Structure 1
Amino acid sequence: MARIYATSAEYTAYTGQTPPADIDQLLAGASRMLVAEVFRLCWYEVDEDGYPSNTLVREAFRDAVCAQVAWWGELGDSTGAAAVGWGSVRLGSAQLSRSVTATSGSASPAREVAPAVWDALRSDDLTPDVFRLGAVSS
């Protein structure tokens, strides 16, 4: 079973906003994405359930997941599907272009790690004896 690093109540505390109706799905998706893209490449000790055993690391993971979900809320897209296949979009004087052959959302901002995730994982509280960002390679 996949680990989910934040709850709806924790998301509400992090953002100060009412969570969206699909918050549990979003938190699970953000947890999966961050495990695949960031957490698995870091060094930290885990408990018997595979969660970080250090409270500060676990809190940083919680904040990172909440930050990712909040990022998706700002973008209006959590899967990258909204950015698939459009060629040119013009709104007033702003114009965006992308190849119309794009068939996946992998290049979408929704598939990027949110800047606030990096802030959470680079906290001064996360000393090298409890957490090392990018210490493992695949």
Structure 2
Amino acid sequence: MLVQASPEFVTRVMRDPRVWRWVAEDGVSPESYICSPRAVCFAHQGRGFAMFKKCTQTMYEIHVAMLKGATNVQPWVMACIAEMRRRGAKKFAAPIAEWNRAALRLARSCGFVEEGRISAALIRNGRPHALIFMGAC
């Protein structure tokens, strides 16, 4: 059974230093992050979330963030995707910073493939980095 996550829960997880270090870009503070109240969010064991933002009639952007200690993440993400398909989603896009190897591994294990990248889209430690777009149907 999937549990809805509140925007406040998502914001709290994202601002946690253990999560923020994986998504932080130079000049962006954790306090600047606020979850969209229009996103569909599911909580995982109180240790993280999957967020789906509607982009088009059938495409959703997906973001997953987990605190250390979360277990069975991949099957849970697949269950979240199945629920969103039940709600009408046909395509999923996951924008992932190239430095976030754990997120890229999780996306691939869930059937996502690289569909494109924007070079120098992000700045970290004073250096430009690509934003990789992973996609799944």
Tell me the TM-score normalised to structure 1 length: 0.28
Relative to its length, the structure with more helix (as a share) is 1
Q: Which has the larger radius of gyration?
A: 1
Higher RCO (C-alpha 8 Å, min separation 6): 1
